[in-house]
Amino acid sequence: MLDESELPQRLRRAVADEPPLDLELSAVLASGRRVRRRRRLAVTAGAAAAVAAVGAVAVPAVVAGDAGTRTTAVPPAAAPPARPDVDPLRGVDLSGASAAQRAEVADRTVTRDEFRAAFLRYRACMGAAGYDLGPVELTGDRFDYSVPDAAVRDGTDEECYRREHYLVDLVWQTSGAVLDASGTTELLRACLRERGIEPAASRGEVDAQLRAQGLELPDCLP
């Protein structure tokens, strides 16, 4: 079945950072700054677990010395949940989140202003600990920035992220807009086309089409 509501925590631990092909490793090592792309997770009950190339930042395990580019998406508007009947934060530990972050996700939607505010708090938290994210660039709908190696090794990066940005990221990532446009949803649509089925527009409908065919996400992986 594609209904995998228990997967978020397991997948967040399992996804590893991946470096871009054009990364100059010597420059990264010389500067002592980690520049990485963290693939985002889009997981909701009633939807297959998705590792998306566009979306919000999750917190996979990081091995000291690896490299990639870190990107976090900026929602174009308020992000409605993919499944209004399912709490995207069900089972997620909220205890480490700041009061501001808990307030932002109380209605289980994330607006552009809330997303930006959470990111700026994360950045300020890193700065207060003596870590600079380097140039922060808005590329399309994403923030691109780098994180010093030391901040990852001593846990500051994860502490600040979870305190100020994690829940906001997760709610946005599990919104219908992100899921519908995700790379994994495109993969599932291609899977249906290969079987002569015209895929639907929304991720929820695509999942229903796959279930009707008795297909699961692994069946569609290349």
Pairwise CA distance, residues 43 & 53, whole Å: 13
- The residue-averaged pLDDT of 156-184 equals 87
The predicted structure's pLDDT at residue 174? 77
pTM, whole model, 2 decimals?
Answer: 0.58
The domain of 33 spans 7-180
Residue 55, pLDDT above cutoff 50: no
- The residue-averaged pLDDT of 176-204 equals 89
- 99 in any annotated domain: yes
- 204 in any annotated domain: no
Q: Which residue has the higher pLDDT, 70 or 190?
A: 190
- 64 in any annotated domain: yes
- 209 in any annotated domain: no
The predicted structure's pLDDT at residue 59? 31
Concatenated DSSP letters of 185-204: HHHHHHHHHHTT-PPPSSHH
- The residue-averaged pLDDT of 106-129 equals 91
- 200 in any annotated domain: no
At a CB cut-off of 8 Å and minimum separation 6, what does 84 contact?
none
- The residue-averaged pLDDT of 15-27 equals 37
